Amino acid sequence: MSVEIGMNDPDPNLTQDAARVMEVKRAHEDELLAKRNVVGVGVGYRKRGSERTSEIALVVMVTQKLPPTLLAPEDLIPTSIEGVPVDVQEVGEITAY
């Protein structure tokens, strides 16, 4: 699964930031989707708790957030990729109907 934020924002800095994050997403999406528990990769706003921030990030969607000690080293998700912040968001199971 892949999602991206809209590019209709009039703020040129936001557009540049989003374009950079989308570039990193395209380059690393397959390797992130191969990790255990990952169900989607997108571009969106970082969340702190349940609150959305104004920071654009690479969003990695997982069925369940797990402590690093329960994941194999190859399944750990980095906090940033190529200088782009990564936000892990728990979304549960995704089912197509």
Lookup: tokens for 13: 């800095």
Q: What's the pLDDT tens digit per position in 25-72?
A: 999 999 999 999 999 999 999 998 888 888 999 999 999 999 999 999
- Please state, in angstroms and rounded to a whole number, the distance separating the CA atoms of residues 97 and 92: 16
Q: Is the pLDDT of residue 75 over 50?
A: yes
What is d(CA 58, CA 67) in angstroms, rounded to the nearest whole number? 20
Question: Is a pLDDT exceeding 60 seen at residue 22?
Answer: yes
Q: H/E element holding 33?
A: helix 12-33
Name the residue ranges covered by the structural domains of the chain: 2-90
Pick the CATH number of 2-90 from 3.30.70, 3.30.300, 1.10.3680, 1.25.40: 3.30.300
Exposed/middle/buried for residue 78 (C-beta within 10 Å: 0-12, 13-18, 19+): middle
